Amino acid sequence: MHIFIIIDSITMAGVFLLGITSLLKSGYKNPINKYYAAFSIMLVLWISMFDFACAGYMPKEVGLIGNYLGYAFAIAVEAFFMLFVAKLTGDAKFFRFVKWFQIFSIVMFLYSASPLFVQDVVKSSSIFDYYSIIYGPLPWLYGVAVTVLYLVIVVGGIHFLNAARGARKQQLLIVVIGFGLGVLPVIITGYIMPLMGIWDLFPYHHFTMAILDICLYYSVIRYHLFDIRLAAVRTLAYTLTLGLLIAVYYLLVILISRLFTAENDNLISQNPLDIVLTFTLLFIFPPIKRFFDQLTNRIFYRDYYNSDAFIDRFNKILTSTTNLRHLLEQSAVEIASTLKSERAFFLISTHDGHHITAGTENYNPLSKTETIAIQNATAHLLRKLSKHTEVTKSDKKRIKKNDQIILASLLDESDSKSNELHRLMDQHKIEVILPLVHHGLLGYLLLGDHRTSHYTNRDVKVLSMIDNGLVVAIQNALSVEAIRESNAELRQIDKIKDEFVSVASHELRTPMTVIRGYVNLLQRQQLGPQNDEQQNVLTRINENTQTLISLVGDMLDLSKLEAHKLGLNLSTCSVDDLVKHAIDQVNLMYTTKGLKLTYSPTNRGLYINTDPAHFDRIMTNLLSNAYKFTEKGGVNIHVKLDTTNLDNKGDMVVISVIDTGIGIPTEAMEKLFNKFSQVDNYLQRTTGGTGLGLAICRRLVAHLGGKIGVESVVDKGSKFWFELPVSKK
């Protein structure tokens, strides 16, 4: 077998293997990968055809057809490589020019496979047995075609080199250099020299394509041109590991054989030792493999990261804070450092229609116009994508998370919205946009260029894995922010209310007190005599003024209770003494009305730790209510010890005020302890009231560590009770 066939086979295998592997794991979706794969197939066909053409032992017809197809596929090689390079530059105008230029490539392809270029073949007089060419009438046209294609690729690639960013720039530089150095000798030895009648180097004219092969692989290994590194690097690591183990194995076998056997060629006696050595090597295999994994990662795969460890760290960030800005900044830093992004930032829509941006320190904020443009363009792309997704049985269209992630390099620039989005992403050096969707568009995660290469399918998969958790965390943070804002507003309103109540209470109490003073003077006839009718009017004025003063006082007390500003003066008190003191205050009005007020304790040795003034306020309010709504019969105060408290607060003293009044309907009892709540009946209308007494009682009891309740039957009476914790004397 001739040496040029061996070298050609290696070159073809290397280029073709790279082309096929570039299409794996969704690589076929990337136009760059597709154009390179087409180039690799054309290159294999080109070299194969010339190998047939150079085989002198083949029939002459095979040699002629081989030359026809060989020169035609050479045009196709340059045409597809031109598309590959144009897409690699990232310049839309250059790519459109190259696409139109393919018309010229097709014409030249057809011309190359015609007698206009290759008329016939004859046996060469060289030491090698191959066919040489008899050119047709237009051989110079082929030279023009390959030269023009060559210059478009090399000059165009170099010209647009400055427009490329990051690792893409290095990829383009290496690819253009490899093509320039590898293809120029091919043109010279495969076309120009044969045209001059020099055929000696023609069988070797493919050899320099190995330069392009080497440059492509270097670009993959060093700058990650295609996402095939992990499989290749792991294969290398396993190969090195197995090679080392085999070497160690044979070294140990030789050493042990020399120690325990007399004859080195006695393999049967070494079999037990081989088994022991095999098991020993199995134990040392994992650490050796890890060593070579780390070594190859540092050399070939420096941006490798453990996705499970990253997700674990990221989840800790999501659960560590509810402060939205801190959450976004910490998340952006973690994502940028792990995925090797030059920058990362978030654009989040708030509940009030505004936007929050936060991220790594070096990001460039978007203007309002740019933000709206990105929103419109991404919404258009997602709608366009949803039209091509399958509809489930529930008629809900679903889009894969991976497909929602927008990469600048994969945008269809023939679409106006996509072209506008690509321009904005290029302007701000954004390569990846991850829409964050939660019952509508919540915002975006935007990543800058990759620091060492480009984003891989694995990176896209990892982003799709953290998407849901990120959306939930941001939504929670937004809700907490909204609650904080609402609480701040409520605190401000509460403060204003307290100030109003305080001012109003002071401003109302002062004139009411003055009014009562003048009314008292009139009633005592110190300013002159009055008749009976005038005295009745003054009495009503006095009573209503007192009611108004009580209302103002109740409002102020209730406001203090709600704001937890009502102080406590706690002391250990006898329940008997407290109840009797309350009875003494209301006993006169009960006697005047002809109502019987009784007190029946079941245990007289009870003590509670309470504020006597607050306790007295509760009792007098309850007794006053019972007095107002009881026309006949009486009121009984009942005190007992409850040792079966279900709230686990310990033993409680239960004080009940039981009347024989008109009772309370069931529907009214539910709102009885609310502010300004009154039972609508004739007694209420005649006796009046502020509607704040029971509301104050409920808050005072809660303030003292107990609870209050009511039981009632219409036309039979009511039982108001409250309980407070027992205190040991």
| Amino acid of residue 407 | L
Q: Kindly state the percentage of the chain with pLDDT values over 90.
A: 8
- 281 pLDDT higher than 90: no
Helix (H) or strand (E) holding 630: none
Q: What is the pLDDT averaged over residues 12-26?
A: 75
Tens of pLDDT, residue by residue over 75-126, are 999 999 999 998 888 788 888 899 998 999 999 999 988 888 888 877 765 5
Report the C-alpha gap between 235 and 217 in whole angstroms: 15
Tens of pLDDT, residue by residue over 518-532, are 777 787 777 778 788
The tally of CA atoms less than 13 A away on the side-chain side of residue 240 is 16
- With a threshold of 0.75, does the pTM exceed it? no
CA distance from start to end of the chain: 113
Report the C-alpha gap between 62 and 53 in whole angstroms: 7
Tens of pLDDT, residue by residue over 250-268, are 666 667 666 655 554 544 3
Q: Kindly state the percentage of the chain with pLDDT values over 70.
A: 73
Q: At what angle do helices 3-21 and 31-53 cross, to 10 degrees?
A: 160
Q: What is the pLDDT averaged over residues 581-595?
A: 88
Torsion of CA 188, 190, 195, 197, to 10 degrees: 100
- 366 pLDDT higher than 60: yes
The structure tokens listed for 54 are 């150079």
CA-to-CA dists, residue 232 to 26, 28, 457, 651, 676, angstroms: 17, 19, 16, 76, 80
Q: What is the pLDDT averaged over residues 395-408?
A: 55
Q: What is the pLDDT averaged over residues 691-719?
A: 87
Beta strands (DSSP E) in 73-155 are: 118-123, 131-135
Q: Which CATH number fits domain 307-478: 3.50.50.60, 3.30.450.40, 1.20.120.160, 3.30.1050.10?
A: 3.30.450.40
Three-state secondary structure string covering 137-201: CCHHHHHHHHHHHHHHHHHHHHHCCCCCCHHHHHHHHHHHHHHHHHHHHHHHHHHHHHHCCCCCC
Of residues 46, 70, 69, 49, the one with CA closest to residue 58: 49
553, 505 Cβ separation under 8 angstroms? yes
The structure tokens listed for 258 are 């020399």
Tens of pLDDT, residue by residue over 634-659, are 999 999 988 776 665 678 899 999 99
Q: What's the DSSP call for residue 248?
A: H
Choose the most confident range, by mean pLDDT, from 295-304, 368-377, 413-422, 672-681. Answer: 368-377
Tens of pLDDT, residue by residue over 137-160, are 888 898 899 999 999 999 888 888
The structure tokens listed for 338 are 């792990």
CATH topology assigned to domain 3-227 = Rhopdopsin 7-helix transmembrane proteins (1.20.1070)
The tally of CA atoms less than 13 A away on the side-chain side of residue 689 is 26
Choose the most confident range, by mean pLDDT, from 390-399, 475-484, 654-663. Answer: 654-663
Q: What's the DSSP call for residue 188?
A: I
- Residue 39: beta bridge partners? none
Report which of residues 433 and 486 the model is more confident about. Answer: 433
Mean pLDDT of the chain: 77
Report the C-alpha gap between 573 and 339 in whole angstroms: 70
Q: Which residues contact residue 65 at a Cβ distance below 8 angstroms, ignoring those fewer than 6 apart? A: 52
Residue 269 neighbours by CB distance under 10 Å = 12
Report the C-alpha gap between 687 and 390 in whole angstroms: 74
CATH topology assigned to domain 571-725 = Heat Shock Protein 90 (3.30.565)
The ranges assigned to domains in the chain are 3-227, 231-289, 307-478, 571-725
- 683 pLDDT higher than 80: no
